[in-house]
Amino acid sequence: MTTIASLHIGELAYISEESLNEIPLKLLEMGCLPGAEVELIQLAPLNDPLYICVNGSHLAIRKETASKIQIIKAQ
């Protein structure tokens, strides 16, 4: 399964429709919607938390959450 947690720094992807029900409501409300563009900006030590930019919002989320959100990597 390809999720936000498997992105490399600077890599772009799109949130997949499949994980809609796995995305916490709050994250959805902050712009993390299916189809939205997501970029990994920085990782804290031990790769957790992740600093991402999704739909224009700059957010830090924990690996636990990130590994539930499926993505489709940009070509």
Applying CB under 8 A, does 12 fall inside the site for other proteins? no
Applying CB under 8 A, does 70 fall inside the site for other proteins? no
Applying CB under 8 A, does 73 fall inside the site for other proteins? no
Under rule CB under 8 A, which residues in 13-52 are in contact with other proteins? 20-21, 23-31, 33-34, 41-46, 48-49, 51
Applying CB under 8 A, does 74 fall inside the site for other proteins? no
Q: How far apart are CA 43 and CA 16, in angstroms?
A: 22
Q: How far apart are CA 7 and CA 11, in angstroms?
A: 6
Question: Which residue matches tokens 């920085």?
Answer: 42
